[in-house]
């Protein structure tokens, strides 16, 4: 985890021009235990022991040769908890809440299990680009392995029981983080959001539930979990909805470039100039400029690798920045200065590398 | 009572006060129209009572909602309404039929799970139920300050968790 970048967030994959990451998350509860809101700390500890035992028994040697790391968040340093949340491996709420809770994490950081979040288990697979189908298979392979040594709460009518009754049934949440600068320029974002709601999709910001959208990044996820098979839900989201969203954004980008080419070039090159010259930089300002540069890179305007932009998008976040240079923790000004210096150096290197 | 002016039954009954004197007026429908009185609209009793009945039903349902409580974890429906989070698996049955409405409206009208089922066997369930029972006994023992019993239960739990030979 102390590696500066190995997470899915800083890589690229299929359709990375639009799709930043894909994730499948399964909500499960262990039968015989109350849900988290009614579970005392000793009960939560017991749930953690049951899960850890299942993880140790089932996840070693199958798909996860090196097993999974076990991180107990209530005793983890605050920086580690923030690192996990910046990598989108845990929710901000989970990083900051109280009580016994843990994260089991595979060495490549693709597979993970949040223990004692809203549900006893949130089994997830997160990867770069549009790979929902792979994420789906991987999440279920982990879930199956765990089901061999523990029993999940299941109701003949409602399916997998979840603490929030609106997640019952398959207990599956498929999501894709999309970069939509084209739609934003063409002022189509609100229309896309409305269409998504009609299709029973949730649209969230950069850090999921309750977060703001920064730099035109939006997270789309399914809301329906009941009355259809898991495969049908995947087919609908991955086979129909997502390709349409991707196609729509690409069309918007082409239209935007045809109509406002100079203005877009101005925005993209100013962002590059800004980040190449700034001496003080906040995380939000850096994210906004990197988002504009990302648009320039995928449209062929800027000769920089997309992986460089993706990596920087993660590294400008406060906890990741402190891994690069711990002096960023000294003061607000130091944080801004370290960020500006690092981004400047990296952009200089990234541009010369591709020449 | 008949009309003041003919032998037909009166449908309008009024007390008219004029110059300090009060006088009862009873008119049939024809004479009432002629005198400019609006005719009373006939409303069958049956029209009123079903409404009263449904109000009572809604009230009863609401009071049932308010008092609904899960016997397994003690969560009340009122608390659930605020938190949107259930307390335990048994809540799903305890809060029927209210929970049914919540789920169906959130799930676009879907009523049944059509997806996968757990693969776990009966033995896993048996061991797990045992573990849960022991855990509850352990909590009770600690609460009652029965430390010897608690220590024993803790050892048994450890044994249950260690891999079988």
Cα–Cα distance for residue pair A327/A139, rounded to 1 Å = 38
Task: State pTM to two decimals.
Answer: 0.79
In this structure, are residues A180 and A203 in contact, taking their beta carbons and an 8 Å threshold?
Answer: no
The number of angstroms, rounded, from the C-alpha of A248 to the middle of its chain's C-alpha atoms is: 22
pLDDT at B31 (0 to 100): 83
In this structure, are residues A217 and A189 in contact, taking their beta carbons and an 8 Å threshold?
Answer: no
Concatenate the DSSP letters of all residues of B9-72 into one string: BP-EEEEEEETTEEEEEEE-HHHHHHTTPPPPPP--HHHHHHHHHHHHHHHHHHHHHHH-B-TT
Cα–Cα distance for residue pair A92/A205, rounded to 1 Å = 12
pLDDT at A233 (0 to 100): 95
The residue of chain B with its CA nearest to that of A230 is B115
For CA atoms A137, A138, A141, A143, give the dihedral sign. Answer: negative
In this structure, are residues A124 and A25 in contact, taking their beta carbons and an 8 Å threshold?
Answer: yes
Cα–Cα distance for residue pair A348/A344, rounded to 1 Å = 6
Cβ-in-10-Å burial (0-12, 13-18, 19+) of B134 comes to: middle
Q: What is the pLDDT of residues A70-82, one digit of tens each?
A: 999 999 999 999 9
pLDDT at A354 (0 to 100): 46
Cα–Cα distance for residue pair A320/A14, rounded to 1 Å = 25
In this structure, are residues A146 and A114 in contact, taking their beta carbons and an 8 Å threshold?
Answer: no
Cα–Cα distance for residue pair A186/A174, rounded to 1 Å = 27
- Cα angle vertex A314, ends A310, A319, to 5°? 170
In this structure, are residues B66 and B78 in contact, taking their beta carbons and an 8 Å threshold?
Answer: yes
Helices (H), A278-331: 283-298, 306-315, 318-324
Relative to beta strand A154-155, strand A159-160 is: antiparallel
Question: Tokens 């009060």 label which residue?
Answer: B22
Chain B segment 39-98 residues within 8 A of A by beta carbon are: 72-75, 83-89, 91-92
CB contact under 8 A, B119 and A49: no
CB contact under 8 A, B86 and A163: yes
Tell me what percent of chain A is helix, strand and coil, each rounded to the nearest 5.
Answer: 50, 15, 30
Cβ-in-10-Å burial (0-12, 13-18, 19+) of A313 comes to: buried
CB contact under 8 A, A34 and B88: yes
CB contact under 8 A, B114 and A151: no
Please tell me if residue B155 touches chain A, with a CB cutoff of 8 Å: no
Question: Tokens 């849900």 label which residue?
Answer: A35
Cα–Cα distance for residue pair A237/A226, rounded to 1 Å = 14
ipTM score for this prediction: 0.86
- Cα angle vertex B77, ends A224, A168, to 5°? 20
Query: Which two tokens mark A48?
Result: 């953690």
In this structure, are residues A26 and A145 in contact, taking their beta carbons and an 8 Å threshold?
Answer: no
Chain A segment 5-64 residues within 8 A of B by beta carbon are: 29-35, 37-38, 40, 42-43, 46, 49-50, 53, 57
Cα–Cα distance for residue pair A255/A300, rounded to 1 Å = 15
Query: Which two tokens mark B116?
Result: 């996968």
Q: Residues in chain A, how many? A: 355
CA-to-CA dists, residue A126 to A93, A135, A222, B34, B124, angstroms? 18, 7, 16, 85, 29
In this structure, are residues A82 and A152 in contact, taking their beta carbons and an 8 Å threshold?
Answer: no
Chain A hits for B161, Cβ within 8 Å: 49, 53
Residue stretches of chain B with pLDDT short of 50? 164-165
In this structure, are residues A70 and A52 in contact, taking their beta carbons and an 8 Å threshold?
Answer: yes
pLDDT at B165 (0 to 100): 36
Chain B hits for A53, Cβ within 8 Å: 161
Chain A hits for B142, Cβ within 8 Å: 42
CB contact under 8 A, A31 and B111: no
Nearest to B129 among A32, A149, A163 (CB): A32
pLDDT at B164 (0 to 100): 44
Interface test with chain A among B74, B76, B103, B115, by most A beta carbons within 10 Å = B115
Mean pLDDT, 10 residues at a time, over chain A (355 residues)? 62 94 97 95 95 84 67 94 94 92 94 96 96 97 90 90 95 97 94 90 80 84 93 95 95 96 96 97 96 96 94 94 94 97 91 50
pLDDT at A323 (0 to 100): 94
């Amino acid at each position: 985890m102390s590696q500066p970048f190995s997470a899915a967030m800083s890589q690229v994959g299929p359709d990375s021009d639009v799709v930043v990451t894909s994730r499948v998350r399964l909500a499960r509860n262990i039968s015989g235990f109350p849900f988290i809101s009614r579970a005392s700390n000793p009960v939560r500890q017991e749930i953690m022991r049951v899960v850890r035992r299942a993880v140790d028994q089932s996840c070693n040697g199958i798909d996860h040769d090196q097993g999974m790391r076990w991180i107990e968040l209530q005793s983890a340093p605050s920086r580690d908890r923030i690192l996990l949340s910046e990598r989108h491996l845990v929710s901000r709420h989970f990083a900051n809440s109280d009580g016994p809770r843990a994260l089991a994490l595979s060495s490549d950081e693709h597979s993970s299990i949040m223990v004692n979040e809203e549900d006893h288990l949130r089994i997830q697979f997160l990867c770069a680009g549009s790979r929902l189908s792979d994420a789906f298979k991987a999440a279920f392979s982990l879930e199956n392995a765990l089901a061999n040594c523990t029993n999940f709460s299941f109701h003949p009518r409602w399916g997998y029981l979840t603490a929030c009754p609106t997640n019952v049934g398959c207990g599956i949440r498929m999501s894709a983080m999309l970069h939509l600068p084209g739609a934003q320029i063409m002022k189509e974002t609100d229309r896309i959001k409305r269409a998504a709601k009609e299709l029973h999709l949730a649209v969230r910001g950069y850090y999921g539930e309750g977060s703001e959208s920064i730099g035109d990044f939006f997270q789309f996820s399914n809301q329906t979990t009941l009355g259809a098979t898991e495969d049908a839900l995947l087919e609908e989201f991955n086979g129909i909805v997502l390709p349409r969203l991707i196609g729509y954004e690409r069309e918007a980008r082409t239209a935007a470039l045809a109509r406002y080419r100079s203005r877009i070039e101005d925005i993209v090159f100013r962002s590059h100039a800004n980040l190449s010259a700034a001496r003080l930089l906040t995380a939000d300002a850096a994210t906004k400029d990197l988002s504009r540069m990302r648009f320039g890179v995928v449209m062929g305007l800027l000769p920089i690798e997309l992986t460089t932009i993706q990596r920087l998008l993660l590294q400008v976040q406060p906890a990741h920045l402190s891994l690069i240079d711990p002096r960023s923790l000294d003061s607000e000004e130091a944080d801004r200065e370290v960020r500006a210096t690092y981004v400047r150096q990296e952009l200089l290197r990234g541009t010369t590398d591709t020449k | 009572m008949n009309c003041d002016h003919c032998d037909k039954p009166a449908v309008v009954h009024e007390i008219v006060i004029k110059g300090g004197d009060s006088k009862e007026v009873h008119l049939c429908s024809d004479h009432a129209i002629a005198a400019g009185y609006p005719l009373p609209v006939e409303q069958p009793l049956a029209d009123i009572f079903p409404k009263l009945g449904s109000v009572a039903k809604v009230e009863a349902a609401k009071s049932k909602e308010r008092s609904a409580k899960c016997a397994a974890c003690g969560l009340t429906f009122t608390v659930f309404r605020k938190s949107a989070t259930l307390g335990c698996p048994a809540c799903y049955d305890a809060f029927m039929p209210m929970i049914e409405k919540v789920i169906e409206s959130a799930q676009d009208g879907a009523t049944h799970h059509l997806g996968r089922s757990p693969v776990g066997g009966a033995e896993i369930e048996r061991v797990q139920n045992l573990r849960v029972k022991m855990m509850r006994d352990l909590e009770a023992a600690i609460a009652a300050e029965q430390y010897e019993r608690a220590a024993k239960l803790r050892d048994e739990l450890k044994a249950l968790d260690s891999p079988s030979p």
